[in-house]
Chain A
Amino acid sequence: MSGKDRVIIELSDLEVERGGVPVLAIPSFRLHEGEFVSLVGPNGCGKSTLLLSMMGLLRRKGGRIFYRGKEVHSSGDALAFRRRIAMVLQEPLLFDATVHENVASGLKMRGLRRKEIGEKVALALERLRLAGMGHRSARKLSGGEARRVSLARALAVEPEVLLLDEPFSNLDPPTRHDIAEDLEKSMRAARVAAIMVTHDQSEALRLSDRIVVMDEGEIVQCGIPAAVMNDPPNVFMARWVGMETILDGIVKERAHGVLRVAVDGGEIEAMGEESPGKEVYCCIRPENVTVERRDKPGPPGRNAFPAKLVDVSAAGTFLRVNLDCGFELVSYLTPESFAGLGLHDKSEVIASFPVAAVHLVRKRAKGARGD
């Protein structure tokens, strides 16, 4: 898209406090035209606060907001700025009125003419597959329908930016998927830029141009989905991207870029630049952990440990296998390879993982979040 590099909203040194406690500190953030950004992070890390203060709905302690390069002052053009953005909160929060009146509400506030309102509402209803439901009472909708109406209501005002605060929470997965798809289509059609708070990994990966990771009121990472998937900055994100094994460790030795890290119950090797004595978390994806029989020929490789199988559970089409090799490891096996290895509860095996598959997260001085 040609307009992609044009900045719509820019935040600079944004600071928000609640009861004298800083809850948000964003030195700089830019949203580009037509861009889809996912906002992820643990509960209470400031995601919703960021959306609300971006829209000017929270008093900020400091900082500036620019709309297309022009500063938005809290007095004069704040309303005009707010009217170019639409926000959808976690609950649908529909008015006790018909679907049509709900979708028309933002347009009415802008003082549009009846005919124009009718046309825009019809388009928004159609885009979210609500055509023909305009006369129904918003009180009598299913959860999914209510969500569609709240999204249509936001899209009807033809915003340049859409702020979505977990717009699909509390929906069953198929409904969630359908609504996300329709929303995405509508947004691409209208070329709306969006920031979406989400906890759903697959949703964020599918929809986003960029993923922004927040922790304790700060942006700790911002990048394309692949970068975030491969390089989680903290334990919360390591879990979020699916690194199920997370071990507490201390770097013992560094040689040629390979670290020996002491973990509780063993020692593993990892790639990294940390200096000895540093406390780290070693994060390993289950799909990188290989399980073999004890009697397998050949010398043991690096990071290979005799292990005992302690638990097996279903994880989608895979089996999730918990292994005890002094420390705990999680591996995913297909049911076929599980059977092929002749495994059963309490099997004795060799578990191994490549040195490059260990992702290190430095422990933060404040104490790590998410564990």
Chain B
Amino acid sequence: MDLILQGIAQALHLLWSLDREVLAITLLSLEVSGAATAISVVIGISLGTAIALAPFWGKQLVVSVVNTGMGLPPVVVGLFVSILLWRSGPLGFLGILYTPAAIVIAQSIIATPIVMGITIGAMQNLPPNLRLQILALGATRWQMVWWLVKEARLPLMAGVMAGFGGVISEVGASIMVGGNVKGYTRVLTTATVMETGRGNFDIAIALSVILLALCLSVNYLLTMVQQRDRPR
């Protein structure tokens, strides 16, 4: 019991004193996961919208593949990206393994299906005749897509947050492709794993508290969006 209380006290102290290292780790986590989310939003929303709106053969198969991708295990992605970026791998010439860029790539692969899957669901949930109505108001094809996306904005925002929540809290891929290099690729989750392994519970708890606070704020926003979306 003492251990936990002590740990929490130490954690609060670390937070309060704005420990440089902890701060750097937190900022890197936000940067990396933020960039990965941004990439997944661009790809996920545009591709998801296209999949939802365009009629094509094999659509159900594509949608089920995307839905499966929403639960992609981070270690599998980590392994896959490691192989890709390995010095002798197909993208080895880039020389970015064990850099923040590698983590961004891995996390984008994790978050994109999440955003895409939620986008497909959100777009397919719109009233089927809304497309005709928008065109009947004089929209061009692109304007129609834009108004549909606007109409689905709340569930799409939920998708963005789910994507962010998924990558900020994953550890497997980050540690495999980032390497947990101190001051370079160390993020909240990888640092927590390491400090716990070393028995530095105070720092581990401090990092966990920050991670939890981040996840909580994301989920709080998500919940607010969902509540606002409960119409009529």
A-side interface residues toward B, CB under 8 Å? 52, 55, 57, 79, 82-83, 85-91, 93, 95-96, 105-106, 109-110, 139-140, 153-154, 157, 163
> With A and B bound together, what is the CA distance between A82 and B139 in angstroms?
9
Question: What chain A residues lie within 8 Å of B231 (beta carbons)?
Answer: 96, 139
Cβ of B155 to closest chain A Cβ, rounded Å: 11
At the interface, yes or no: B140 with Cβ under 8 Å from chain A?
yes
Tell whether, in the assembled complex, residue A79 and residue B140 are in contact, meaning their CB atoms are under 8 Å apart: yes
At the interface, yes or no: B198 with Cβ under 8 Å from chain A?
no
17 sample A-B contacts, Cβ–Cβ < 8 Å, listed by A number: A55-B136, A57-B135, A57-B136, A79-B140, A82-B138, A86-B136, A87-B133, A91-B127, A93-B130, A95-B151, A105-B137, A109-B147, A139-B231, A139-B232, A153-B137, A154-B137, A157-B138
Which residue on A lies nearest to B153, using beta carbons? A96
User: Which 5 A-B pairs have CB atoms at the shortest separation, nearest pair first?
Assistant: A87-B136, A106-B137, A83-B138, A93-B133, A139-B231
Tell whether, in the assembled complex, residue A105 and residue B130 are in contact, meaning their CB atoms are under 8 Å apart: no
Question: What chain A residues lie within 8 Å of B17 (beta carbons)?
Answer: none
> With A and B bound together, what is the CA distance between A86 and B132 in angstroms?
11
Residues 138-179 of chain B, each 1 if its beta carbon lies under 8 Å from chain A, else 0: 111001000100110010000000000000000000000000
- New A-B contacts (4) at CB < 8 Å, excluding given A89-B133, A109-B138, A154-B137: A83-B138, A93-B130, A96-B154, A106-B137
> With A and B bound together, what is the CA distance between A221 and B133 in angstroms?
29
> With A and B bound together, what is the CA distance between A83 and B138 in angstroms?
5
Question: What chain B residues lie within 8 Å of A163 (beta carbons)?
Answer: 136
Contact with A140, one of B147, B154, B232 (Cβ below 8 angstroms): B232
Which residues of chain B from 100 to 131 have a CB within 8 Å of any chain A CB?
127, 129-130
> With A and B bound together, what is the CA distance between A91 and B135 in angstroms?
15
Contact with B129, one of A89, A96, A153 (Cβ below 8 angstroms): A89
Cβ of B201 to closest chain A Cβ, rounded Å: 48
Interface residues of A: mostly helix, strand, loop or mixed? mixed
Tell whether, in the assembled complex, residue B133 and residue A106 are in contact, meaning their CB atoms are under 8 Å apart: no
> With A and B bound together, what is the CA distance between A154 and B134 in angstroms?
11
Tell whether, in the assembled complex, residue B137 and residue A157 are in contact, meaning their CB atoms are under 8 Å apart: yes
Question: What chain A residues lie within 8 Å of B143 (beta carbons)?
Answer: 109
Cβ of B74 to closest chain A Cβ, rounded Å: 35
> With A and B bound together, what is the CA distance between A355 and B127 in angstroms?
52
Tell whether, in the assembled complex, residue B137 and residue A109 are in contact, meaning their CB atoms are under 8 Å apart: yes
Tell whether, in the assembled complex, residue A52 and residue B137 are in contact, meaning their CB atoms are under 8 Å apart: no
Question: What chain A residues lie within 8 Å of B130 (beta carbons)?
Answer: 93
Cβ of A154 to closest chain B Cβ, rounded Å: 7
Kindly name the residue among B129, B135, B138, B231 whose own CB sees the greatest number of chain A CB atoms within 10 A: B138
Cβ of A292 to closest chain B Cβ, rounded Å: 54
Question: What chain A residues lie within 8 Å of B147 (beta carbons)?
Answer: 95, 105, 109
Question: What chain A residues lie within 8 Å of B129 (beta carbons)?
Answer: 89-91, 93
> With A and B bound together, what is the CA distance between A139 and B151 in angstroms?
12
Which residue on A lies nearest to B144, using beta carbons? A109
> With A and B bound together, what is the CA distance between A83 and B127 in angstroms?
22
Question: What chain B residues lie within 8 Å of A154 (beta carbons)?
Answer: 137
Which residue on A lies nearest to B129, using beta carbons? A89
Kindly name the residue among B127, B135, B150 whose own CB sees the greatest number of chain A CB atoms within 10 A: B135
> With A and B bound together, what is the CA distance between A153 and B231 in angstroms?
21
Tell whether, in the assembled complex, residue A52 and residue B150 are in contact, meaning their CB atoms are under 8 Å apart: no
Tell whether, in the assembled complex, residue B136 and residue A89 are in contact, meaning their CB atoms are under 8 Å apart: yes
Question: What chain B residues lie within 8 Å of A89 (beta carbons)?
Answer: 129, 132-133, 136
Cβ of A48 to closest chain B Cβ, rounded Å: 10
Which residue on B lies nearest to A96, using beta carbons? B151
Question: What chain A residues lie within 8 Å of B140 (beta carbons)?
Answer: 79, 109
Tell whether, in the assembled complex, residue B232 and residue A86 are in contact, meaning their CB atoms are under 8 Å apart: no
Cβ of B148 to closest chain A Cβ, rounded Å: 10
Question: What chain A residues lie within 8 Å of B133 (beta carbons)?
Answer: 87, 89, 93
Cβ of A106 to closest chain B Cβ, rounded Å: 4
Which residue on B lies nearest to A141, using beta carbons? B232
Tell whether, in the assembled complex, residue A93 and residue B127 are in contact, meaning their CB atoms are under 8 Å apart: yes
> With A and B bound together, what is the CA distance between A96 and B127 in angstroms?
12
Kindly name the residue among A52, A105, A153 whose own CB sees the greatest number of chain B CB atoms within 10 A: A105
Question: What chain A residues lie within 8 Å of B135 (beta carbons)?
Answer: 55, 57, 82
> With A and B bound together, what is the CA distance between A95 and B143 in angstroms?
14
